[in-house]
Structure 1
């Protein structure tokens, strides 16, 4: 069946490239010299390279794989200047125009320079400055990026991860301004933070429950140590192929931790992790639980499968195996993503590729995966009623 024209695609994983003035526009004069700013480095035979500088530390590759619209044969060199990217990377109005070309109704965009969940600021020397930078980023997302197209751009915020109480305050502050999701590291312990098996995160998880905002765990957000370790002489393709394993690791960590038992309303999004692996890892977790729960400090009563179906949702760009096994995963647990402007995206043909992926899937199930599940998980306004003729198709 074709992807019906009345289905509105909502992507739960995309990315923005912060424009040069995000922090300079929002911080005081005394902060500006140490706050994130763009600097230029000359290069022979070409315009200067633009890169971020924060607390005198350079952060190159401002484009972070911002290659939407290029052919795979052209991949390999990330943009190092804003004028080498398409404007939709950093301009919200241009982004919405690119969404219209792609047939996408709404997008949730993760950070680039700060890291997917703000880990650049976690490494700051000056934690007071870092807090102001986190708040400035969130204000940019809420007051500028998403405000340019309410309902089309879905706000996801970052936290001051080094202090649970400050994180709680930022959750409530941003929720009051309209935030819909929280970007949270997939493996906190890999960043040197307390693990999910401690009580450190309890106030944060309670605040997420109270505000109804899912914790979005973008794969690889746990930092370099969460990325699969491959042979030093292996091609980069090996690591790319294994990136989703951090989502598997994170899922196993959650279902054997006490956190989900203490926070029954918590919602967790496995961002850009794919879905085809879910049946295996949950079946394996159930097996481990049945065999080994009696002598370990884990819950004795609730199977990992039950926890997954209650708390988690995954998303995919291209995952034909996952779509074929959607009933094992749970149709209500799957969402769709575009991943603009990264190299995995199909822009400007995302709707066409989605139609191919769902060719053999009934309309009601497609509608859940591409739109309705995201509205439910992220507390988005209800969609317009389905046309009566379509409802009986």
Structure 2
């Protein structure tokens, strides 16, 4: 009830105060794939086109995307044409180092690499074979890591053919371009490699008034 109340306020009052300018991003019920699927369908009827999700729900004690438990959620997102928005640091797997002496600069440098880990899990997730039209936005994930990531994926896919990896008849780069939107704020290297990444898979975002 609290989640629905928040999402209703977020869509109707916050985003609704400036239609066409504010785009709502409701939350899913991360503790329940079934409730999340229901919420996707409910907020879609209210005009929402995206919903927030975690980089790794299992790090909060919830089912992994590899378990199949999230299939109702993926199915709902595909059927309702709702994009899954996954923000950096939206899990407990944030790579910062465990030392108390680790400087804060390390924490501010590494979050984008969590998007790499998240993308790897999603690309090899069987659910994306079952639901080939699911769209995923890697919010604030950056783009400069993607070309090397795709190179590694392609090499692994080719050299480890004995694993019989199934990407729905696609190669890793094709799979990435089908499902993902990479969002960046300031990423000169990523722009230089835009053709390797896929020009239609890159979105510019603004983080004002945040320091990024």
- Which ranges of 4 or more aligned residues in structure 1 deviate by more than 6 Å? none
Distance (Å, rounded) in 2 between the aligned partners of 1:153 and 1:293: 46
Q: Which residue of structure 1 aligns with residue 133 of structure 2?
A: 265
Normalized per residue, the structure richer in helix is 2
Secondary structure of the corresponding residue to residue 226 of structure 1? coil
In 2, Cα distance between equivalents of 1:189 and 1:292: 27
Q: Residue 139 in 1 paired to residue 8 in 2? A: yes
1:177 counterpart (23, 37, 46): 46
Structure 1: give runs of 5+ residues left out of the alignment: 1-131, 345-393
Whether the 8 Å CA contact 1:157–1:181 is kept in 2: the answer is yes
1:31-69 residue CA offsets vs partner (Å, 9 max, x unmatched): xxxxxxxxxxxxxxxxxxxxxxxxxxxxxxxxxxxxxxx
Aligned to 2:65, the other structure's residue is in SS state coil
Deviation of 1:295 after TM superposition, in Å, equals 3.1
How far 1:198 sits from its partner (Å)?
A: 1.5
Q: Which has the higher strand share?
A: 1
Q: Determine which of 156, 159, 172 is the counterpart of 1:288.
A: 156
Q: For residues 129-165 of structure 1, give each alpha carbon's deviation from its aligned partner in whole angstroms, at most 9, with x where no partner exists.
A: xxx1211110111111111100000011101121222
Which residue number corresponds to residue 59 of structure 2? 190
Contact 1:218 1:271 in 2 (8 A): yes
Residue 311 of structure 1 pairs with residue 174 of structure 2: no
Whether the aligned pair in 2 keeps the contact of 1:282 and 1:304 (CA below 8 Å) is yes
What's the secondary structure of 1:244's corresponding residue?
helix
User: Which runs of no fewer than 5 residues in structure 2 stay unpaired?
Assistant: none
Matches within 5 A, 1:64-83: none
Quote the Cα distance in structure 2 between the aligned partners of 1:242 and 1:288. Answer: 24
| Matching residue of 1:299 | 166
1:203 is matched with 72
Distance change >3 Å, CA 197–CA 293, structure 1 → 2: farther
Once residues 330 and 159 of structure 1 are traced to their aligned partners in structure 2, the CA distance between those partners, rounded to angstroms, is 29
Corresponding position of 2:21: 152
Cross-structure match for 1:226: 93
Superposed, 1:1-393 pairs within 5 Å as 132-222=1-91, 225-230=92-97, 231-295=99-163, 298-299=165-166, 301-344=169-212
> Matched residues in 2 for 1:190 and 1:291: separation?
31
The answer to whether the 8 A contact 2:66-2:125 is kept is yes
Higher RCO by CA contacts (8 Å cutoff, separation 6 or greater): 1
Partners of 1:272 and 1:255 lie apart in 2 by 18
- C-alpha separation between the residues in 1 aligned to 2:184 and 2:20? 21
- Structure 1 residue 293, shift from structure 2 partner: 4.1
* In structure 2, C-alpha distance between the alignment counterparts of 1:191 and 1:302, rounded to whole Å: 31
Q: Compute the displacement of 1:249 (Å).
A: 0.2
TM-score normalised by the chain length of structure 1: 0.52
| Rounded Cα–Cα distance in structure 2 between residues aligned with 1:137 and 1:226 | 26
Q: CA deviation at 1:251?
A: 0.5
Distance 1:170 1:293 in 2: 39
